[in-house]
Structure 1
Amino acid sequence: MVAEASGTLVVASRAESIDEISALTGQNLRRLRTRRGYSLDRLAKISGVSRAMLGQIETGKSSPTIAILWKIAAALDVSCSSLIAEPHETALRVLTHAKAKVLSASEGRFQTRALFPYESERKVEFYELRIAAHHTEKADAHRPGTVENLVVSRGTVEIVAGRHAPQILGEGDAILFEADVAHSYRNMTGSEAVLFLVTTYVEEISG
């Protein structure tokens, strides 16, 4: 009877642990997906994981395999651990340049370096942008309410946001615009341009 009772306790403990991991994974997935402005359909197309499975993971109804986690993490461009990490607060954290997460696009002509830990939940993100000489980088519209605040550290850059007239920024100039429209960054010089970007997201409203 003791062994049976002990066995029951172990099973219950494992079940509770699985439920906690499933719930945490679902919360992290929803946060990371909405941060990038991805719908479930878009993430399903990029990751190769069905929309139904993604929906079940987000609601905590399904515990994904490691293979599925890797597919989702790759599509969101985050570490696999980000999907199962518990939220934590750190009073001080150094993000060294050597260990920075640098994302490249357009065959390396446009690079973004996150100046914040990906694992932490936030409504504001801070990036360093590097644009190769004479390169234009086009960006899709972010989710409604997203705001971008840019300052040029080096070079001269043209910013186009939606139907607004192109804005030319020199070193030290800054711009603020709603980024829920297609927008672009064009380096107008013959050397690499460097900018710093603060992206602010609105609180998601559940229906």
Structure 2
Amino acid sequence: MTDLDHLTQSLARNLKRLRTERGFTLDALAARAGVSRGMLIQIEQARTNPSVGTVVKVGDALGVSITSLLDYDQEPKVRIVPAEQAVRLWSTEAGSHSTLLAGAEAPGPLELWSWRLMPGDSSTSDPHPVGTTELLHVRAGVLTLSVDGEDHQVPAGTSASFESHVPHGYRNDGDQPVEMTLAVSVPAPG
């Protein structure tokens, strides 16, 4: 079984378990997440590899991190994630990519990411639930951080934090790759 097969199977199993634990019907979760009922059925039956955006919407609707949706095993108290098990969820032909390094669920979903943005590349995100906070640290290059339509320059060695319940995105307007570490904290549901 390939890594992609493992991820597809884990996503199917975890989505069904989490949806059932929360008492959501397929229709209720579809409405809450803003995705079709048919897409949820395909995910739960491991018949599709949904986009990162779809996985994020479903995770937000369930109040869990992407890590929880993709996790192969139940989480132990200490979870070591070897480099080969980090999950690359976004990439471009130019060489930009984001990799989910680790995540946790207490008190709400918490994710740690490594990003690389090549010159001219960008990634936008839909608003997360109210109360979601992102922290980032730029290791190389100059990041253009766009939050609710306003751009902010974040050079190497600089950190930023922002509430991400508004449209936001990351852009490399420079001529050098941007390397950054990003943490996302989503409030617990309810």
Q: Matches of 2:49 and 2:67 in 1, distance apart?
A: 6
Q: Decide whether aligned partners of structure 1 residues 82 and 156 sit closer, same or farther in structure 2, where only a CA change above 3 A counts.
A: closer
Within the candidate set 25, 44, 55, 1:76 is matched to 55
How do residues 101-112 of structure 1 correspond to structure 2 at under 5 angstroms? 101-107=87-93, 109-112=95-98
Kindly indicate whether structure 1 or structure 2 has the higher relative contact order, using CA contacts under 8 Å at least 6 residues apart: 2
What SS does the corresponding residue of 1:94 show, helix, strand or coil?
A: coil
Within the candidate set 167, 178, 184, 1:182 is matched to 167
Within the candidate set 38, 41, 49, 1:49 is matched to 41
Task: Find the counterpart in structure 2 of residue 167 from structure 1.
Answer: 152
Query: Aligned pairs, how many?
Result: 156
- Aligned-pair CA distance for 1:162: 0.3
**Contact 1:28/1:84 (8 A) holds in 2:** no
Task: Find the counterpart in structure 2 of residue 89 from structure 1.
Answer: 76
TM-score normalised by the chain length of structure 2: 0.65
**Contact 2:144/2:151 (8 A) holds in 1:** yes
What SS does the corresponding residue of 1:49 show, helix, strand or coil?
A: helix
Q: Decide whether aligned partners of structure 1 residues 184 and 109 sit closer, same or farther in structure 2, where only a CA change above 3 A counts.
A: farther
**Contact 1:73/1:79 (8 A) holds in 2:** no
- Aligned-pair CA distance for 1:82: 4.9
Task: Find the counterpart in structure 1 of residue 140 from structure 2.
Answer: 154
Q: Which is higher, the Rg of structure 1 or of structure 2?
A: 1
**Structure 1 stretches of 4+ moved >6 Å:** 77-81
Structure with higher helix content: 1
Q: Decide whether aligned partners of structure 1 residues 68 and 88 sit closer, same or farther in structure 2, where only a CA change above 3 A counts.
A: closer
**Contact 1:158/1:168 (8 A) holds in 2:** yes
- Aligned-pair CA distance for 1:147: 1.0
Q: Which runs of 5+ in 2 are unaligned?
A: 1-15, 25-29, 57-65
What SS does the corresponding residue of 1:150 show, helix, strand or coil?
A: strand
Within the candidate set 105, 110, 120, 1:121 is matched to 105
- Aligned-pair CA distance for 1:187: 1.1
Q: Matches of 1:29 and 1:115 in 2, distance apart?
A: 30
- Aligned-pair CA distance for 1:126: 0.8
Q: Matches of 2:111 and 2:68 in 1, distance apart?
A: 20
- Aligned-pair CA distance for 1:25: 5.7
**Contact 1:158/1:187 (8 A) holds in 2:** yes
TM-score normalised by the chain length of structure 1: 0.60
* Aligned CA-pair RMSD: 3.6
Q: Matches of 1:202 and 1:80 in 2, distance apart?
A: 15
Q: Matches of 2:189 and 2:167 in 1, distance apart?
A: 20
Within the candidate set 22, 27, 30, 2:21 is matched to 27
Deviations 1:141-160 (A, max 9, x none): 11221111111011111111
Task: Find the counterpart in structure 2 of residue 8 from structure 1.
Answer: none
Q: Decide whether aligned partners of structure 1 residues 138 and 109 sit closer, same or farther in structure 2, where only a CA change above 3 A counts.
A: farther
